[in-house]
Amino acid sequence: MDRLTRPALPTTAAGAAAHGTVLEPGRPWPMGAHFDGSGVNFAVFSAHATKLELCLFDENGEHELQRLALPVQTGDVWHGRLPGAMPGLVYGLRAHGPWRPDRGHRFNPKKLLLDPWARAIVTPPGGFDPAGPHLGADREHPQHPDATDNGPLAHKARVVHDTPDWQGDRPPATPLLDSVVYEVHVRGFSKRLPGVPEAERGTYAGLASEAAIAHFKRLGITAVSLLPVLQILDEPRLREMGLVNYWGYNTLGFFCPDPRYAATAHPRQEFREMVRKLHAAGIEVLLDVVFNHTPEGDERGPTLSWRGLDNASYYRLPDQRQHYENWSGCGNTLDVRHPRVLQLVMDSLRHWVQDFHVDGFRFDLAPVLGRGSPFFERDGPFFKAVLQDPVLQGIKLIAEPWDLGPGGYQLGQFPRGWLEWNDRFRDTARAFWLGGDCTRGEFALRLAGSSDLFQARRRSPLESVNYVVSHDGFTLHDLVSYDLRHNEANGENNRDGHGHNLSWNCGWEGPTTDPAVLQLRARLKRALLATVLLAQGTPMLAAGDELGHSQGGNNNPYCQDNATTWIDWAAADQDLIDFTAHLLALRRRLLPLGAQWYSGLPDAQGLADLAWQRRTGEPMAPEHWDNRMSRILGAWIGQPGRGGAPLLLLVNGRAMDASFQLPPGDWVAELDTTAADGRSPWRRNGAASLMLGARSVMLLRDHAAAPQAAAGTPPARP
């Protein structure tokens, strides 16, 4: 038949039915729904189902038009091919099998299920109602399955087949040594950003707007780490209070950009365009991904997908198998030990790299991914799978190294090549500058790469992600403005969020007009930023900290999609932005501490690569490191990361100025955090010492001979 007179292939279930729908055997791979040019192949995993049905819907997902049993089971994959079907087809799944919660089985064909490999999700008209008939168990008699059909009210999948034009896009591939991570929320960053069209504010397009990219370039960051942008589902509890899951740690679609951040009806296309524009500006895109749990919660939660398809395979279940292991704090824990669950995770990662060109991932509660039975294993199946996968080579992998399971704190224990959020750095920096319990030795240890955590297994100091603030907790401004959390708006009577923040309000809780308090807060913010950006490791900033954004003391605004979390650009501290940009420019040019571990030993010329000294100019001795009262120290850096002249890093964490005896050299100030812009005209000019301002950091550069300071690094702490 001539192609010009060939009948049009059906794009909907009605069209497929009109063509006499019969499923062909198809094939058991790839998982999910895939268009092959003349039809769609469906492959669905379930090891314990007795029957799987493909349910075809109208284009809006309102009416179920046909059910077709997947005709073939190959191993644990059910599959079939729908000839004539086209992209745009809307479908769901129903799984038949035993209802035996005591054995971990919760099959209920009355519940329409979302394909775990769905690449686009159709939300029910009017939105998803968590109070609808989505429970697999009967509310009154939970030992029995619920008999109410939820098909019209459930999420469905839409067949996707897109061939994007990347216009020659190439990833920046920024070396780790040069990387500066900027953690940012898509909505919060541009919702109030001047220069962004109103329709694009708070969207993928807004994050890649000229105004946004101009700010990124002004700062000098190299990567944006996006809070979760995979499609999510709000928790019922939040919906009841009129709130939403703003942070997004509740993934429904592991292959779907969240449409709530799209300015158009085409989130996949808009997401790609965002990535392409950011890449063109030299900025990498990292995604925060959540593979530790699903929105189905515990046994009292809804049946959306995984629970109904094969509960006993997808989830980690305790001996009493009607319950769930809850190592995520969200009611359930995905069992990444299972080959098909591992495949789901790996397919998702590859999808975002191949189809969306992302440059890396930050893994929420990452120890879950490495848990055996039940403890963390750094050589577990997930890590081996990532290591050997050719698609994932060269991307950045960042772990949040703790979860709620047994032995959940795993900082420093991830495989080589993985970066880890270093909360020990965070807490030490806060304690040092804000009056907490901290020694000079602990501070120096964190400043010089946290060798106690990373060096023993031949890992790089760059694998420490250094930060003092992230999305989780106070902003930098609030860290120096509040002693207490103020989370009343979250609806939990101010019980949620961290109660121990190592913060200091500088003498007044919250906003003030007192110039002395404001000056002190500004100085502390600069000192904390300098600590992050001059330390050895990979620095991370939280969006808004460079301009003094406040959340009003809310240190857990996960449910606040409003002015609490949207960056207030009108109130931006331009001096602080300039200071941060100056710091990052210094880091690029001088890189005080590089990629190698410093030994403190002299080279052939008798010069140490790193030498620590007291304010008197004398070398630090072992008994000096444990002094909790003195917060003054200097680091002579004989081998800066960029090479060139030696550097002298001076730190004064005390409340008063301090005289610092200088080693020999023609020292010139590159940074002085007592100045609002960080710049200083200071030059030695023969002086024996300098006056180091209270609560400040100075960085000096020298072209003369090495000092006679003793070699040595601070002793490692257990």
Tokens of 552: 């009003």
CB 659 within 8 A of CB 692: yes
- The catalytic position among 364, 403, 672, 702 is 364
Per residue in 565-612, pLDDT (tens digit) is 999 999 999 999 999 999 999 999 999 999 999 998 887 777 789 999
Domain CATH code at residue 640:
2.60.40.1180
* Displacement of CA 168 from its chain's centroid (Å): 27
Residue 509 has φ and ψ, to the nearest 5°, of -80, 115
Asked if residue 708 has pLDDT above 70, the reply is no
Question: Is residue 184 included in any domain, yes or no?
Answer: no
Q: Quick one: average pLDDT of 472-491?
A: 98
How remote is the C-alpha of 368 from its chain's centroid?
A: 15
Question: How many residues are listed for the chain in this entry?
Answer: 718
In a domain, 83, yes or no: yes
Whole-number Å distance between alpha carbons of 592 and 610: 10
Tell me the mean pLDDT in the region 153-175.
Answer: 97
Distance (Å) of CA 464 to CA 139, 376, 440, 579: 48, 19, 19, 24
Q: Is residue 639 part of a domain?
A: yes
Domain stops at, among 142, 158, 174: 158
pLDDT-above-90 percentage for the chain: 91
Digit-coded pLDDT (tens) for 324-339:
999 999 999 999 999 9
Q: How does residue 12 score in pLDDT terms, banded at 50, 70 and 90?
A: low
Report residue 2's pLDDT band, with 50, 70 and 90 as the boundaries. very low
Q: Which long-range contacts (CB under 8 A, 24 or more apart) does 68-77 make?
A: 68/21, 68/23, 69/23, 70/23, 70/42, 70/44, 71/23, 71/24, 71/25, 72/25, 72/26, 72/28, 74/28, 75/28, 76/45, 76/46, 76/47, 76/340, 77/28, 77/29, 77/31, 77/43, 77/44, 77/45
Categorize the per-residue pLDDT at 17 as very low, low, confident or very high, splitting at 50, 70 and 90.
Answer: very low
Per-residue pLDDT, 676: 98
Q: Which of 230-239, 398-407, 605-614 has the lowest mean pLDDT?
A: 605-614
Which residue, 137, 158, 179, sits at the end of a domain?
A: 158
Domain membership of residue 568 (yes or no) is: no
**Separation between Cα atoms, residue 344 and residue 257, nearest integer Å:** 16
The predicted pLDDT at position 711 comes to 42
Q: What is the number of domains present in the chain?
A: 2
Last residue of a domain, one of 158, 189, 215: 158
Flag whether 661 is in a domain: yes
Q: Is 400 annotated in the active site?
A: yes
- Record the tokens describing residue 63, joined without a space: 């009416």
Instruction: Determine whether 364 is an active site residue.
Output: yes
Cα distance between residue 260 and residue 398, in whole Å: 25
Query: Which structure tokens are listed for 519?
Result: 């000056």
Q: What are the structure tokens assigned to 1, written together?
A: 């038949």
Of 84-88, 454-458, 465-469, which range is least confident? 454-458
Residue 495 lies in a domain: no
Q: What is the CATH number of the domain that holds 15?
A: 2.60.40.10
Average pLDDT rounded to a whole number, residues 482-510: 98
Task: Write out the residue range of the structural domain in which residue 669 sits.
Answer: 610-701
Each residue's pLDDT tens digit, 98-152: 999 999 999 999 999 999 999 999 999 999 999 999 999 999 999 999 999 999 9
Output the CA angle 583-558-497, nearest 5 degrees.
85
Number of Cα atoms under 13 Å in the Cβ half of residue 429: 31
The one catalytic residue among 115, 400, 545, 702: 400
Q: Does residue 630 belong to any structural domain of this protein? A: yes
In the prediction, which pLDDT does 528 show?
Answer: 99
636 part of a folded domain:
yes
Q: CA 113 to CA 110: how far, in whole Å? A: 9
